[in-house]
Structure 1
Amino acid sequence: MADQNIFDRPVLQRLYRYGCALCKDQDQAYDLLQHALEKYIRDGGKHNYHHDVAYVRTVMRNRFIDEYRRSKRIPEDSYDDTSPVAINEASLEDIVIAQIDLEIVWHKLDPFEREIMYYWAIEGMTAKEIAMEINVPRGTVLSRIHRLRKKIEAAFDSSQYSRSNRP
């Protein structure tokens, strides 16, 4: 069995954030991570450290894709459970506007775009690292990032426009 301290708190948090980036839901992200870790433990941890994290991430991604495809065949009603937002120095209005803008943009992204966004914006990976992680050519990653930036800019421009036209 591999070293028991492989999945320390920062690694688990990074994997959890990856799950959140894939499925837009904290509970589903937690379930993805739990499933992947269970599978890793059942397999006996037959991998070395660098492959352990990649293996768990791959299991999470594959499970998400399976669930995504299943949900397309059999629609499921989901209920959003909103949690309270901690208010600091920023005004409540700014927080609400930023949250609305982010939700608008996030829902316009498909799961694969969210995955690229996660690696690029949250993990700070380079295009080459992302390409190696998701097993596609670097040029494909660069073009996806470019299209993703344009899509986000367009979404923010349209949300700013629609908000400025309100009475």
Structure 2
Amino acid sequence: MSPSVRSELPMLLPRLRRYAYALCQSSALADDLVQSACERALLQSSSWTPGTRLDAWVFRIIRNCWIDGVRRARVQAEVEGAEASDMVIDGERHALSRVEFSQIAERVEDLPWEQREVLLLVCVDELSYRETADILNVPIGTVMSRLARARKRLVEAYGHETDVRERG
């Protein structure tokens, strides 16, 4: 195990948890996702290249774990039938209804997840477009387009033309 990964990973936990929450919209699921991603990062620390951004590498692991979980849940729902799928959806709605957010957090939550994850990686975690594109495995133009659409939707939600970056 790389000593650098082991020593630097705890410092990333708040950012990792915020990103995981943005993906799955549940505190409990976000905690599980971060735990799985950290376990995977520690087990596969030899595949991280020293001198590169550890945070970008772990963000990508989180995203891959989340996608794996979504696929697994979809397959499980298909196997268990529509009733199980309805229970999962009802459970998610119940969890979301209990969470209270500020006005901006509500607007960000309303964004499609592709736009939300780009917005969080670029604007909150201050990753470059290139780093975000690498994490998401998409072209830089896709990152720029998703970010522009997310910002436009946020501006429209507030009903005026103020640049979202100026909202402090």
Same fold (TM over 0.5): yes
Tell me the amino acid that sits aligned with residue 95 of structure 2: D
User: Quick one: which amino acid aligns to residue 21 of structure 1?
Assistant: A
- Computed over aligned residues only, the root mean square deviation of the Cα atoms, in angstroms, reads 2.8
Q: What count of residue pairs does the alignment treat as equivalent?
A: 142
1:165 corresponds in structure 2 to none
Q: Counterpart amino acid of 2:40?
A: K
Letter in 1 for 2:149: R
Tell me which residue corresponds to 1:80: 95
Distance 1:41 1:126 in 2: 25
**What is the CA distance between 1:142 and its match in structure 2?**
1.4
- The amino acid that maps onto 2:108 is W
Distance 1:153 1:28, change over 3 A: same
How far apart, CA to CA, are the structure 2 residues paired with 1:7 and 1:26? Answer: 20
* More moved, 134-143 vs 66-75: 66-75
> CA shift at 1:51, angstroms?
6.1
Task: Find the aligned partners of 2:138 and 2:129 in 1 and give their Cα distance.
Answer: 10
Equivalent residue letter for 1:24 = Q
The answer (yes or no) to whether the contact 1:32–1:64 under 8 Å persists in 2 is yes
Q: Where in structure 1 are there 5+ consecutive unaligned residues?
A: 86-97, 159-167
Q: Which residue of 1 aligns with 2:102?
A: 99
Local SS of the residue matching 1:6: helix
Match of 2:41 in 1: 40
- Matched to 2:113, the amino acid is P
User: 2:151 maps to what in 1?
Assistant: 149
User: Which portions of structure 1, spanning 4 or more consecutive aligned residues, are displaced by more than 6 angstroms?
Assistant: none
In 1, Cα distance between equivalents of 2:59 and 2:131: 14
Alignment-derived partner of residue 22 in structure 2 = 21
Shift of 1:72: 5.3
Q: Which amino acid aligns with 1:102?
A: A
Could you tell me the TM-score, scaled by structure 2's length? 0.68
1:80–1:100: structure 2 CA closer, same or farther, 3 Å change rule?
A: farther
Secondary structure of 1:8's match?
helix
Aligned residue identity for 1:48: T
SS in 1 for 2:7: coil
Counterpart residue number, 1:92: none
Higher helix share: 2
Looking at structure 2, the residues matched to 22 and 8 of structure 1 have their Cα atoms a distance apart, in angstroms, of 20
